[in-house]
Amino acid sequence: MSRSTRNRLIALAAALAVTAVGNPARADDNATPGDLASLDTANLQLGSVHAAIADMDNGVMLYMKNADERVPIASITKLMTAMVVLDSGEPLDEWLTIVKRHHKAPNNAYSHIRLGSELQRGDLLRIALMASENRAAYVLARHHPGGLDAFVDAMNAKAKSLGMEHTHFAGPTGLSPRTQSTAADLSRMIQAAAQYDHIREYTTTSYYAVHFRNPEYTLHYGNTDALVYRNRWNIGLSKTGYLNEAGRCLAVVTEIDGHELAIVLLDSFGSHTPIGDVGRVEQWVETGSSGHIARAALRYEQRRTAEKTAENTE
């Protein structure tokens, strides 16, 4: 495909996106706010390029947006890492040595954790989830029975068992863009992860201090998801993610108007867009209409959608 043809396709797709967002369909006249079955998906506008929303009570998918396109998922990966760690049955109070990576990380993996020191498995898991600590996730995988390769194999086997047919994990951290999934597959994953009490607790911890030994030192961590700090939100599970290749990503389980929903948002513009999208989902459930998207986020969504449309046409 020539560059000029590709540019025309991008322009056309962007124009269609503007039309779709600028002229939302009317809500069902018989819709009742808060009644999930009556919600009109045409009235939910999100800034994220990919999205999936499911009812946790029955697993029914309420909304999908580009939800079957396979894309990098960044640190949303760590929810699968956590399930594999917990499924292994290895004791959470076991002290693990912080080891150096076999190979250089595919993206920046800077950490304040000192090589050679020790921390308990449960604390490593907590900071991997709440603070997206990449070295912690890597160390958990290295200390898995059978080592790193066995751990990654277990991640992919778990994904298969959950029906995640379009998912591949290349490692425990999400730093590799080769770790890819779809919003629909990730909806299955977070619904499964929400069944683990430890994952619910660890992903929603606001602040935590971890105490290492050999040598002794303390590091303080905060949650990477701003929603867990806001009293107005009842967050049951949360995980953020970011890579240049993935954009901003967010997976949450939250209660809205008496319904517990699993929300997956992938490839968003800036850190505020996924949070804004959760707010738009809330407004949609409560009123039947989500409201508007910030101009910068809308332009990003239209550009990324147009680029993907052109790529798929080549």
Nearest to residue 178, comparing CAs of 264, 269, 105?
Answer: 105
Q: For Cα atoms 191, 194, 198, give the angle at the middle one, nearest 5 degrees.
A: 155
Annotated catalytic residue, options 78, 158, 239, 308? 78
Strand residue runs (E) in 24-178: 50-55, 61-65, 71-72, 95-97, 118-120
> Measured between alpha carbons, how far is 152 from 141 in angstroms, rounded to an integer?
8
**Of 125, 133, 136, residue with least CA distance to 90:** 125
Q: Is 104 a catalytic residue?
A: no
Catalytic site residue from 38, 48, 65, 75: 75
Q: Catalytic residue at 100?
A: no
Residue in this structure with the two tokens 């992919």, named with its chain if needed:
156
Q: Is 78 a catalytic residue?
A: yes
Cis preceding linkage at 215, omega within 30: yes
* 81 contacts: CB under 8 Å, gap ≥ 6: 128, 137, 140, 141, 155, 172, 173
122 has which bridge partners?
A: none
Catalytic residue among 88, 100, 117, 132: 132
Q: What residues are labeled active site?
A: 75, 78, 132
